[in-house]
Structure 1
Amino acid sequence: MSAKLQAKLGDDRYEFDGLQTAHNHDFMVDERFKSAYRRGVKAAGNDYQWYWRVHIGLWAAATAIKLCGDFVECGVNRGFLSSAIMQQHDWDTTQRTFYLLDTFQGIDVKYLNEHEIEGGVLERNQIEINRGFYTQNLKEVEDNFAEWKNIKFVVGSIPQTLQKITSKQIAFLHIDLNCTEPEVAALDYLWPKLVCGAVVLLDDYAYFGYQPQKDGLDAWAVSRNIAIASLPTGQGLIIKT
């Protein structure tokens, strides 16, 4: 743990990733959390200080692991959250499959709507590719996950690749595509496969700068009479009932 992080913990304040609070955040000194988080950092090659977002993701996975069904991540990139989850749950002992979907080419820009283009998503996508945040090295990602057997990579653009998810039951769904149309398509396609109690985590639902995604997901939720919880981490959360 860095001296800077230790100092912030000592001050009883949390100030990371757009979230500032004086409320309890002692999950950050929990050994299981720290171990899983380190595995995520190893996968990403960087610590983006996503502590509370990862905490929520690990909670979601721990809730879903008690249910029958596979896990799905739409927008795996380098595998920060999925690696942390698999490390924490000793994945191959769970006897379930983790589907890992991504273009491994950044956002498929043909799916951007006019509001996203006006908001600079096209330019931001290219910046993230250029600086290496969006990986284009599939082999490197595969190597990161090589310690686990029960995984399935699905390479390409959503929604075309969704039919490759052959599971009939899904307990956990993480969507982090940074683009409205494929996010809504993934949620709509996979919703019937989600078991009762399944957890859906929407990475950028309430995150600053991603209003078009929230608008699209909200419209979908209204059409289904479903409520999405907006979290101060910038995430959105759905429990299927």
Structure 2
Amino acid sequence: MVTAVGISKQWPVKFRLMWAALRTGYAIPRTFLPDVYSDDALICFNNDAFRDDPAFRRAYARGVQSIGGEDFYHWEWRFHIGLWAAISASKLDGDFVECGVSHGFLSSAIMQHLDWDRLGKCFYLLDTFGGMDPRFVTDAEEDEGALAKSQAALDFGIYANSVESVRKNFAEWKNVRIVAGTVPETLDQVESKSVAYLHIDMNCSPPEVAALRFFWPRLTPGAFVLLDDYGQRGRDQQRLGMDAVARELGVPICTLPTGQGLLMKPAV
């Protein structure tokens, strides 16, 4: 079984070479322009001073711990957005929910940063911990290779394939509930009637749409909803699905250059 420990060392040689080429591609702009941010599908000339903040570094390090101590994600700016949304949501009434947890990179970092058990909130973490369920993959997504990509991510350890390893990652906190299974079938296991933070990252449109529809009535006014893949190229089905729900709800989705989408429950 592949675990989060030493994942990249277990990758096949071909995959390692492809990954090295990708990392080199990001490193080239930084070589000639040291102040530029170049990672995770984002090249940005603006200030990224948040990366030097000690509290941010500690939180990011906790996320890296969840994947075995080696940062093969390089998600700093995307992580920054997620951490900001969680910090803001922590000041609202309501629990936290993440649909699509994998190893728990972002969610465990959030809990470390917020001194989680002190808040009196519960963090619900929903995932199959076994990749995509084919029953909920659209024909268009299957044609685009979603199932094959999911299986490869499981094989290479990029996706968590063991709920036990994820439970171990979150063992230091009491106010957390890990729900293993497929969304939408597990949604009714979230007992909270008030949600301040919702992170959706299932790489597949039908369960993501189902999660947003399910939790919208439970969202606290001002609550934050973060869509991990909304603006990423090749994720058109997820974007279109969320756009349709957003139109029904009468709320706009903000597309972020990190590839995420962000929306808030109106305060009135």
TM-score (norm 1): 0.95
- Structure 1 residue 43 and structure 2 residue 54: aligned? no
User: Aligned AA for 1:36?
Assistant: A
The alignment status of 1:165 with 2:190, answered yes or no, reads yes
Cα distance in 2 for residues equivalent to 1:112 and 1:160: 14
1:8, CA displacement in angstroms?
Answer: 4.0
**Partner residue of 1:95?**
120
Unaligned runs of 5+ in 2: 1-25
Q: Tell me which of 205, 214, 217 is aligned to 1:189.
A: 214
Matched, 1:208 2:228: no
Partner of 1:26: 49
Count of matched residue pairs: 237
Letter in 2 for 1:50: W
Separation in structure 2 between the aligned mates of residue 83 and residue 20 of structure 1, nearest angstrom: 26
Shift of 1:111: 0.8
Amino acid at match of 1:99: Y
Q: Name the counterpart of 1:132.
A: 157
Distance 2:252 2:195 in 1: 19
Q: Residue 14 of structure 1 corresponds to which residue in structure 2?
A: 37
CA offsets, 1:103-148, max 9 Å, x none?
Answer: 0111111111111011111111111111111212111110110000
Between the aligned partners of 2:192 and 2:148, the Cα distance in structure 1 is 36
Q: Which stretches of structure 1, 4 residues or more, deviate above 2 A after TM superposition?
A: 7-10
SS in 1 for 2:232: coil
State percent identity of aligned pairs: 50
Superposition RMSD in Å: 1.5
CA–CA separation in structure 2 for the residues paired with 1:150 and 1:84: 15
Helix, strand or coil: the match of 2:245? helix
Instruction: State the match for 1:220 in structure 2.
Output: 245
More divergent stretch after superposition (123-132 vs 48-57): 123-132
SS of the residue 2:125 aligns to? strand
Q: Residues 194-226 of structure 1: CA distance to partner in whole angstroms, max 9, x if unpaired? A: 000000000001112111100111111112211
TM-score, length of structure 2 as denominator length? 0.86
**Structure 1: any 5+ residue segments left out of the alignment?**
none
